[in-house]
Amino acid sequence: MARLYAATGDGIARLDEVGDAWTARIYRRRDGAPWQPLSGGLPEPLPAMPYALLAADGRLFAGLANGQLWASPDQGDSWSPVRITGCTLDALLALGSAMH
């Protein structure tokens, strides 16, 4: 079964203007079916842009711009916050390059 994941939001302009990501969401697509927003414990909508997604061994991890980390043990059906002990993350930054 093929699964694709995508993180979306209003974009940098919206985030810079108002400091929120009111349409930030994580989506999943299975075997060519339509994209579906994931919830199952995630805040609705997400409080910050999801900049990092990692899928491994049936688990999914999401890192938000505000430093929150979320984990799903079942490919995105349910989620819980990742508790960090010691030093916490203040923010998560995305690095990219423009292709011309």
Domain boundaries in the chain? 3-81
Q: What is the pTM of this model?
A: 0.73
CA distances from 21 to 43, 49, 52, 57, 96 (A): 12, 6, 15, 29, 19
Contacts of 97 (CB under 8 A, 6+ apart): none
Confidence of residue 51 (pLDDT cuts 50, 70, 90): confident
Answer with the residue of higher pLDDT: 17 or 5: 5
Token pair recorded at residue 12: 């940098």
